[in-house]
Structure formats: structure tokens, C-alpha cells
């Protein structure tokens, strides 16, 4: 549960700042973490 919460916050932020690159994306996909890519990032959570 902790890992799920952690990656729900990390992956959208990586995507927003451009660090979810084509080199990194397959590794995150293999771990099943791309499902969090479109979750709200920290910027939107604070404003919304």
C-alpha cells in the first residue's frame, strides 16, 4: 500500500516535468507503474 501511494505521487510528477522519457517508460511499464501517469500531480493537488 505504501509503494502504491508513493508511485501515485511520483509518476505523475515525473511525467509533468518531462522525466518520463522513452528510455525510462518501458521500465516503468514493466513494473506496472504507468497506470499512475495521468493521476493528478502535486501541482494540481495543491491548487484543486
pLDDT tens, residue by residue, 1-48: 898 889 988 999 999 899 999 999 999 999 999 999 988 877 755 554
- The predicted pLDDT at position 31 comes to 93
Residue from 46, 47, 48, 3 nearest 11 by CA: 3
pTM to 2 decimals? 0.74
User: 36 near 12, Cβ under 8 Å?
Assistant: yes
In the three-class reduction of DSSP (H, G, I as helix; E, B as strand; rest coil), residue 40 is classed as coil
Count of domains observed in the chain: 1
Distance, CA of 45 to CA of 26 (rounded, Å): 27
- The predicted pLDDT at position 46 comes to 54
* Structural domain range at position 19: 2-47
Distance, CA of 38 to CA of 12 (rounded, Å): 6
Amino acid at each position: 500500500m505504501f509503494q502504491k501511494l508513493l508511485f501515485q505521487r511520483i509518476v505523475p510528477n515525473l511525467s509533468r516535468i518531462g522525466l518520463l522519457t522513452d528510455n525510462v517508460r518501458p521500465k516503468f511499464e514493466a513494473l506496472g507503474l504507468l497506470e499512475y501517469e495521468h493521476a493528478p500531480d502535486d501541482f494540481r493537488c495543491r491548487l484543486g
